[in-house]
Amino acid sequence: MEDETAGDPITGLKWTHKTPEKLSRALGRRGFRIGRTAVRRLMRQQRYRLRVNRKERSRQRHPERNRQMKHIARQRRAFLRAGFPVISVDTKKKELIGEFRNPGRTWRRAPREVWATDFLSDAVGKAIPYGLYDLRHNAGWLAVGVSHETAAFALQTIRTWWRCVGSGVYPRRKHLLILADGGGANGSGCWQWKQGLQGLANEFGLTITVMHYPPGASKWNPIEHRMFGPISSNWQGHPLVSYAVMLKLIRATKTKTGFTCRAYLDKAEYPTKLKVPVVERAQINLVSHRVRPNWNYTIKPHPKARKTAQVISG
Predicted confidence at residue 314, as pLDDT, reads 46
CA 149/CA 272 separation, integer angstroms: 8
Q: Place 179 in a pLDDT band, splitting at 50, 70 and 90.
A: very high
Reference 93, options 120, 130, 55; nearest CA is 130
The 10s digit of each residue's pLDDT in 12-58 is 445 556 788 888 888 888 898 899 899 889 888 888 777 766 666 65
The 10s digit of each residue's pLDDT in 104-155 is 888 888 888 999 998 989 999 999 999 999 999 999 999 999 999 999 999 9
* Comma-separated ranges of CATH 3.30.420.10 domains in the chain: 65-313
Predicted confidence at residue 305, as pLDDT, reads 61
Predicted confidence at residue 309, as pLDDT, reads 46
The 10s digit of each residue's pLDDT in 249-279 is 999 999 999 999 999 999 999 999 999 999 9
Predicted confidence at residue 1, as pLDDT, reads 52
CA 226/CA 86 separation, integer angstroms: 14
Cα angle 166, 168, 172 (rounded to 5 degrees) comes to 90
CA 128/CA 131 separation, integer angstroms: 10
DSSP conformational letter for 289? -
Percent of all residues in the chain with a pLDDT value above 90, rounded to a whole number? 70
The DSSP bridge partners found for residue 264 are: 143
**H or E segment and range at residue 126:** strand 125-134
Q: Place 205 in a pLDDT band, splitting at 50, 70 and 90.
A: very high
Asked if residues 132 and 157 have their Cβ atoms less than 8 Å apart, the reply is yes
Give domain 65-313's CATH number out of 3.30.420.10, 3.30.460.10, 3.90.870.10, 3.20.20.450.
Answer: 3.30.420.10
Predicted confidence at residue 84, as pLDDT, reads 97
